[in-house]
Amino acid sequence: MAASVSSRFLVLLKEFSTVRKISWRSAAANYHRQSRFLCHAAKENGSLTLASLELGNKPRKSGKSKAVKLEGSFVTEMGQGKVRAAKNDKMKVVKEKKPAEIVSPLFSAKSFEELGLPDSLLNSLEREGFSVPTDVQSAAVPAIIKGHDAVIQSYTGSGKTLAYLLPILSEIGPLAGKAGSSSGESEKRAEIQAMIVAPSRELAMQIVREVEKLLGPDHRRMVQQLVGGANRMRQEEALKKNKPAIVVGTPGRIAEISKGGKLHTHGCRFLVLDEVDELLSFNFREDIHRILEHVGKRSGAGPKGEVDERAKRQTILVSATVPFSVIRAAKSWSHEPVLVQANKVTPLDTVQPSAPAISLTPTTSEADGQIQTTIQSLPPALKHYYCISKHQHKVDALRRCVHALEAQSVIAFMNHSKQLKDVVYKLEARGMNCAELHGDLGKLGRSTVLKKFKNGEVRVLVTNELSARGLDVAECDLVVNLELPTDAVHYAHRAGRTGRLGRKGTVVTVCEESQVFIVKKMEKQLGLPFLYCEFVDGELVVTEEDKAIIR
């Protein structure tokens, strides 16, 4: 039974990857006719889907505003026949001055005590300054403690990491309550009890730090990172020496160590796939197959030595964007899987492809390029703008944007790592403190840049898709898309780097005139208003009409 469930899941996983691959290919072919730029992006990003960008969407000419001459060099970037010109007299100054202000608190009324967590864990939460659970934590913790497999989907920056860490730590490791330590403590100590998988080294390390914070200085060794780019031998030695209860890592390194027989996860009770939609993509398929096959499986446990006796592994899938393919895969598991969202827990069996629960989801009509729309992936308080700039003036547009919003901590996204350096040179030449972050930098380089950005030494982080998922920098008050993301899902993850945990945040997409239709399409898919803006005399201005949209 368990074996058939497992192989059914692997078939579904294969389908999932194949669907994404096909939709990428066909969409890329369509899109190539319209834009060479994004087709290059699709190639570089491999498994990314361009389905949402294809076909027939002409740039929308605004009937509301007439082209007018505005002062300043930004205006010189706007050529004849612009898609959407703004009336100077109708432009309004939008004040976006104070960064990281809390504008929409995500906390429900519950306290952590009400969630049934053990005292030691409550003490840790108190020590680290976590006093009230967010909505998704209030919903997820009891469901996972009850033993459900879970798909957790909620806004970027809504606290999904603690939503799965708290129930895990209440069951295993040094902070676990009595109920959690039922079977032989010595046996548990010898085996890994929880595995958390994340698609990037940065995200994995961020999760490690979150676990370490909760474990406290005395028990930090109970968590071990297994990320690529770091010394594998040392990781293996640490596994042997420290016997961690929890490992957090990237798929490639976990699979590598597992193949070498150095990772004992058959008795593992929790498997978490953070950013599950990314992890189930084609890029990670082989490694994730291995992990799903080996984690929580006790070999030779059956009376005749058969290897189909799965330990009571709970599987938790997490992302702000959950395609129905993930739901379909999770439905094939046996532990009454549930979909957990803010203040809502739904049995997965009842979730349909058309349900608004699944955000930005290519559904069964995926092949037709139809995408379902909801606004559940992004915090509602985020503000979205776009401006038009010629390619060669984009860096100037970025600089004006940063000054106009007085943004202190900015992430600027591009699609190709080669171009990041160029942007950094140009910004530095204009006196802006910035740095590049991408996968080609060494491990040390990446962590140094990230550290500098987090502590405010770097004002603008120029990066690519590497930083789009999971990166948590509370102070980040502005995200700029210097190049368009490949689709609305990627837009959501990039945008979600700001406005975290109810803070104020702004997203500005700098596009060329011929790309406005893509921005409009993403706006429609996300169900959020993207306001056209210009930067005039050091201020961000929008039309009166657009201003009315956000009133």
Ligand X SMILES: Nc1ncnc2c1ncn2[C@@H]1O[C@H](COP(=O)(O)OP(=O)(O)OP(=O)(O)O)[C@@H](O)[C@H]1O
Is residue 474 close enough to count as binding ligand X by CB under 6 A?
Answer: yes
**Nearest CB to ligand X, comparing residues 55 and 474:** 474
What is the C-alpha to C-alpha distance for residues 288 and 280, in angstroms, rounded to an integer?
Answer: 7
* Alpha carbon distance 107, 501 (integer Å): 9
Closer by beta carbon to ligand X, 48 or else 91: 48
User: Could you tell me if 397 and 427 are in contact, meaning their C-beta atoms sit under 8 angstroms apart?
Assistant: no
Angle 173-306-1 from CA coordinates, rounded to 5°:
80
Q: What's the first-to-final CA gap in the chain, in angstroms?
A: 56
Nearer to ligand X, 100 or 255 (CB): 100
501 binds ligand X (CB under 6 A): yes
Give whichever of 162 and 412 is closer to ligand X, judged by the CB atom: 162
User: Binding of ligand X at residue 265 (CB under 6 A)?
Assistant: no
| Residue 467 in the binding site for ligand X (CB under 6 A) | no
From the CB of 394, what's the least distance to ligand X, in Å?
25
Cβ closest to ligand X, residue 290 vs residue 454: 454
Contact partners, residue 254, CB within 8 Å, separation at least 6 = 195, 197, 226, 247, 263, 287, 291
Helices 119-127 and 201-215, packing angle to 10 deg: 110
Are the C-beta atoms of residues 68 and 87 closer than 8 Å to each other?
yes
Q: 274 is written with which tokens?
A: 């953070």
Q: Which of residues 155-174 bind ligand X (CB under 6 A)?
A: 156-162
Measured from the CB of residue 361, what is the shortest distance to ligand X in angstroms? Answer: 16
Q: Which is nearer to ligand X, 465 or 472 (CB)?
A: 472
Binders of ligand X among 96-155, rule CB under 6 A? Answer: 130, 132-134, 137
The residues near 368 (Cβ < 8 Å, ≥ 6 apart) are: none
Q: Select the span of 30-38, 166-174, 282-290, 468-476 touching ligand X (CB under 6 A).
A: 468-476
Kindly indicate which of the ranges 258-266, 347-355, 396-404, 466-474 contains the residues binding ligand X, using the contact rule CB under 6 A. Answer: 466-474
| CB closer to ligand X, 388 vs 468 | 468
Residue 311 sits at the vertex; the CA angle it makes with 310 and 315, to the nearest 5 degrees, is 90
Site for ligand X in 268-307 (CB under 6 A): none
337 binds ligand X (CB under 6 A): no
Binding residue for ligand X, selected from 470, 499, 502, 505, defined by CB under 6 A: 470
CB of 118 to ligand X, least distance (A): 17
Under a CB-based contact definition with an 8 Å cutoff, are residues 61 and 514 in contact?
A: no
Asked if 504 interacts with ligand X (CB under 6 A), we say no
* 383, burial (CB in 10 Å: exposed 0-12, middle 13-18, buried 19+): buried
Asked whether position 502 contacts ligand X by CB under 6 A, the answer is no
Q: How far is the CB of 117 from ligand X (least distance, A)?
A: 12
In angstroms and rounded to an integer, the radius of gyration of the C-alpha atoms of the chain is: 24
Residues that bind ligand X (CB under 6 A): 130, 132-134, 137, 156-162, 320, 470, 472, 474, 496, 500-501
